[in-house]
Structure 1
Amino acid sequence: MLSAVGLTYEIAAGRVLAPFFGTSLLTWTTVIATVLAGFSLGSALGGLVAERPRTQALGNVRSALIATAVLMAASPTLLALIYSIGARGTGGMMLSVFLVFFPASVCVTLPSPLLAKLAIEARPGREGSSLGIVLAAGSIGAIVGAILAGFVTLPLIGSTATFAACGAVALLCLLFLRDGTPVKHRATVPAVAFVAFAGFAGPPVCQYESGLSCLHIVQRGPEVHLISDGTPQAAEQVDRWDAESGAVGLVLPYTRWLWARMDNDLGPDPSVLFIGGGGYTLPTRLLASRPQAHAVAVEIDPLVTEVVRAHMPHAAEMIAQTGYDATKHPRSANRRLGLVHADGRIYLNETDHRYDAAVMEAFSSGSVPAHLVTRETFARLREIVDGPVYVNLIDTSDGPLARGVNAILRELYPHVRIVHPANSARNRRNILFAASRDPLLPLDTLPAGYEPTQISDARPFTDDRSWVGHR
């Protein structure tokens, strides 16, 4: 049971970190290393506890379980507190992970040696098989915990309640620690109350949460913004309708550049593939301005589409009028926006459709998933897309992600144009690419604040040696 709690806690830790520090190879590496370090120290300390007199050892284990419950239930609040104090960047992320998740990882493993010792003593002469059963039970518990976190608790009840549930299960383990003597542990009742409060009254980390996304809807005057893992994902100006095109005005500057390029480069009836649905603002603009156009939007998380339907009226109307499940139904005159809820790379590998253009705008937190920025991914795009490919990244002006993608595009396409914001309040900014087999005509005007830029040479990312995330 404690092994299941430990693995559920570890996976939930990686998930709850995303709204504050994003999701990347670096964040997951830090979480896994920190939690495993806690497990190791907890096992070592638990071995010392197991050598103490039985009554004293059981008392120590009960204290560890109570501490586990309180620390796990408090994890989201502690993380938000440390972030609010000023923890930022890779160093701040590593410090936050250690301070929040290491203590509970130590406490949850501390009872294991004593429990193993009790199991061995219960079967004299069968020490080897008893130890094997204990180890196997721990592994099975870890498997169960991983499945519960990924498929059940995080998607259904969210991060805050998942941490509280971990604490509740740790407290339930107290019922199995009896040695025939009366147990007086004054901290148990307050711990139960705290865990219950954290689970039912604790503020949720996300307004909308699935196993893949932590979403918030923010209303800023007439604009509705979709925030994913703390990063602006899309925005719609709900009170402004472009009379000429019949489409909502685009709010975010990078979407205005992408649309300007698409409007300049594409014909009257293009078929466009969007890897990443986001707020569906670009597909909405495309289909509204070109009645003969067709789009397929590949969005890995169905929750994103549900939130857009509920809060972004113009995109929701386009989905309601022309949207269809592209995995089940063929394209028709009324079905012009194909919806695919799948990983973008899997769709690229399996689709047999051809497109006139593609927009690569898939994000996990503040970065593109590593498997979508490799030479193999863009080579497959080149096979199925006859026209230009547009790419949106978030990086520094000449950062490692931008350099790697630039190297791939220049290797595959003879014509590449790149722009970025001239000034940005943050170090990282949108880096926008347009790549094509044919020459790309310059735009008459650029969105305010955007200008052409150059990217240094670098090694292209591949499936074997790919992007590792922002440091």
Structure 2
Amino acid sequence: MNAKESAIPFPIIIALILVLSAVGLTYEIAAGRVLAPFFGTSLLTWTAVIATVLGGFSLGSALGGIVAERPRPSALRQVRGALIATAVLMAVSPTLLGLLNSWGARGTSGMLLSVFIVFFPASVCVTLPSPLLAKLAIEARPGREGSSLGFVLAAGSVGAIFGAILAGFLALPLIGATATFAACGALALLCLPFLRGGGTENHGVTIAAAAFVAFAGLAGAPACQYESGLSCLHVIRQGPEVRLVSDGQLQAAERRISGADGEGASGLALSYTEWIWARMERDLGADASVMFVGGGGYTLPTKLLASRPEAQAVAVEIDPLVTEVVQDHMPRAGEMIVQTGYDASEDREADGRLGIVHADGRVYLNETQRRFDAAVMDAFSSGSVPAHLVTRETFSRLKEIVDGPVYVNLIDQADGRLARGVNEILSELYPHIEVVHGSFTSRGRGNILFAASPRPLDDLNDLPEGYSQTHLSEGRAFTDDRGWFGHR
């Protein structure tokens, strides 16, 4: 085979670099999403994914440089082999992650091990062709090596940008993580026909890999029952309860009420919501207007509106999918959304008592002109509250638009850093604070609940089972600049 026969046109080389860069970034973002049902979504999980995938990219580039120096037929064979391995490894990633979890991969160490085993090999393989492609691009335009290298670097960057947009805005919300992994594998295989040369090609291996990728995409079990770019949701019916699980963490639950209409029954299935409702029932008037940051299962807004016909509520839920799933699967909350829900995103008056805003809670706080009698801060990303919702700036803004008490739900250790930080902020802003905690899990975390008010808070006659008042040590108040970093 002579050089002319093995030459690849420069535009094709640039296109291949762009596609493989897009595949690599799409894979990286999908990796963070598919981890969620097993290990949640946190700063730690994303750090582990990014570090592992970038480490794989680095090793793949180094190995690819060695391959690029080999005779052209040998180099092309090894690059084609790397693309086939890329396709298979990417397609099998969700299944392998599930197997590791079923074999006992738990906690931080289990997450780190799983990330390395599942995502590192494919990250190496997808990057291995890049040095050879760069070499071919430079050779394709003698005398114009500088601009050729510039086009190679630009194609890599543009491909990465395109891959990030493709994953976050299209692939993951529309087809889910499992199919996204298979699509990444399919794109890697589609590059093979443009890398001919290097002797007899084993078409049987390529066909087998393509069949495996197609099977993984079509027959593989989805990682989530319902999936968007923000949430991985499962609905679980357990006895009389309907439970909403997001990113592997129980987010909300509604108790199905027997009898004609469940009159007088709470419908609240989680003990922390019982405490918040008991406080609201004691603290608020009959026509209270309450903002809920974090829609979850809409159980507390539903309880408020069902119990107090003159009350108003605005629920700020970042993910529209959560609202859709609640409406379809949680009968009481779903009925309330249908009967009285309306779009409150523009702060305009509308018929209905349950305003729904699909936006980040902090963005809504910054922009809204409405005033409220009380607020409930109950937004979670997996097992922890988003850092930007527990800062001094957030609660200062809350105090500007909320005339009465603010109720906060956290998950933390007893006297943990998150709880102490929030307590410090609330103590700066409100003269009256009550703090209770529920039972703690084997990992030492549980619900820490706050009620902070400009006016004295009456004592509750009874607390939910397992709850007691608590005292928190001094802590560091979180700010937008130095915020909560998440559980580790």
TM bracket, shorter-chain basis: over 0.9
Q: How does 1:176-195 map to 2 (within 5 A)?
A: 176-179=194-197, 181-195=199-213
Tell me if the contact between 2:75 and 2:198 (Cα under 8 Å) persists in the aligned partners: no
Q: Deviation per CA, 1:143-193, whole angstroms, max 9, x where unpaired?
A: 110010000000000000000100000111111101385422542122111
Cα pair distance change 1:245/1:350, threshold 3 Å: farther
Tell me if the contact between 1:240 and 1:248 (Cα under 8 Å) persists in the aligned partners: no
Tell me if the contact between 1:235 and 1:279 (Cα under 8 Å) persists in the aligned partners: yes
User: Which residue of structure 2 aligns with residue 26 of structure 1?
Assistant: 44
Query: Is 1:414 the counterpart of 2:431 in the alignment?
Result: yes
Q: State the shift of 1:422 in Å.
A: 3.9
The amino acid that maps onto 1:266 is L
User: Which residue of structure 1 aligns with residue 57 of structure 2?
Assistant: 39
Cα pair distance change 1:381/1:245, threshold 3 Å: farther
Q: How does 1:136-215 map to 2 (within 5 A)?
A: 136-179=154-197, 181-215=199-233
Q: Deviation per CA, 1:371-427, whole angstroms, max 9, x where unpaired?
A: 111110011001100100000111111222111111111111111111112454542
Q: How does 1:94-109 map to 2 (within 5 A)?
A: 94-109=112-127
Q: How does 1:10-409 map to 2 (within 5 A)?
A: 10-179=28-197, 181-240=199-258, 248-328=266-346, 330-331=348-349, 334-409=351-426
Tell me if the contact between 1:238 and 1:248 (Cα under 8 Å) persists in the aligned partners: no
Tell me if the contact between 2:74 and 2:198 (Cα under 8 Å) persists in the aligned partners: no
Q: State the shift of 1:241 in Å.
A: 6.8
Q: Deviation per CA, 1:276-321, whole angstroms, max 9, x where unpaired?
A: 0011000000001100000000000000000001001111111111
Tell me if the contact between 2:406 and 2:452 (Cα under 8 Å) persists in the aligned partners: yes
* Percent identity of paired positions between Structure 1 and Structure 2: 74
Tell me if the contact between 2:77 and 2:198 (Cα under 8 Å) persists in the aligned partners: no
SS in 2 for 1:383: helix
The amino acid that maps onto 2:142 is P
Cα pair distance change 1:380/1:256, threshold 3 Å: same
Tell me if the contact between 1:423 and 1:449 (Cα under 8 Å) persists in the aligned partners: no
SS in 2 for 1:250: coil
- Aligned mates of 2:142, 2:69 — CA distance in 1: 18
Cα pair distance change 1:312/1:103, threshold 3 Å: same
SS in 2 for 1:232: strand
Q: Deviation per CA, 1:98-123, whole angstroms, max 9, x where unpaired?
A: 11111110000000000111111111
- Aligned mates of 1:96, 1:106 — CA distance in 2: 16
Tell me if the contact between 1:25 and 1:468 (Cα under 8 Å) persists in the aligned partners: yes
Q: State the shift of 1:330 in Å.
A: 3.5
- Aligned mates of 2:485, 2:266 — CA distance in 1: 36
- Aligned mates of 1:179, 1:148 — CA distance in 2: 31
The normalised TM-score by structure 2 is 0.94
Q: State the shift of 1:329 in Å.
A: 7.1
Query: Is 1:467 the counterpart of 2:484 in the alignment?
Result: yes
What are structure 2's unaligned runs of at least 5 residues?
Answer: 1-18
Which residue, out of 451, 454, 467, partners 1:450?
Answer: 467
- Aligned mates of 2:92, 2:99 — CA distance in 1: 11
Tell me if the contact between 1:247 and 1:288 (Cα under 8 Å) persists in the aligned partners: no
Tell me if the contact between 2:30 and 2:180 (Cα under 8 Å) persists in the aligned partners: yes
Q: Deviation per CA, 1:338-387, whole angstroms, max 9, x where unpaired?
A: 00000000000000010000000001111111111111001100110010
- Aligned mates of 1:422, 1:24 — CA distance in 2: 23
Tell me if the contact between 2:72 and 2:198 (Cα under 8 Å) persists in the aligned partners: no
Cα pair distance change 1:76/1:45, threshold 3 Å: same
- Aligned mates of 2:448, 2:390 — CA distance in 1: 14
Tell me if the contact between 1:70 and 1:194 (Cα under 8 Å) persists in the aligned partners: yes
Cα pair distance change 1:329/1:354, threshold 3 Å: closer
Cα pair distance change 1:346/1:143, threshold 3 Å: same
Q: State the shift of 1:243 in Å.
A: 7.1
Tell me if the contact between 2:439 and 2:446 (Cα under 8 Å) persists in the aligned partners: no
- Aligned mates of 2:186, 2:211 — CA distance in 1: 10
- Aligned mates of 2:82, 2:31 — CA distance in 1: 20
Tell me if the contact between 1:236 and 1:248 (Cα under 8 Å) persists in the aligned partners: no
Q: State the shift of 1:240 in Å.
A: 3.8
- Aligned mates of 1:428, 1:398 — CA distance in 2: 10
Tell me if the contact between 2:34 and 2:177 (Cα under 8 Å) persists in the aligned partners: yes
The count of aligned residue pairs is: 470
Tell me if the contact between 1:269 and 1:292 (Cα under 8 Å) persists in the aligned partners: yes
Q: State the shift of 1:242 in Å.
A: 10
User: Which range is displaced more, 444-453 or 172-181?
Assistant: 172-181
Q: Deviation per CA, 1:246-289, whole angstroms, max 9, x where unpaired?
A: 56521111110110010011111100000000110000000011
Tell me if the contact between 1:67 and 1:104 (Cα under 8 Å) persists in the aligned partners: yes
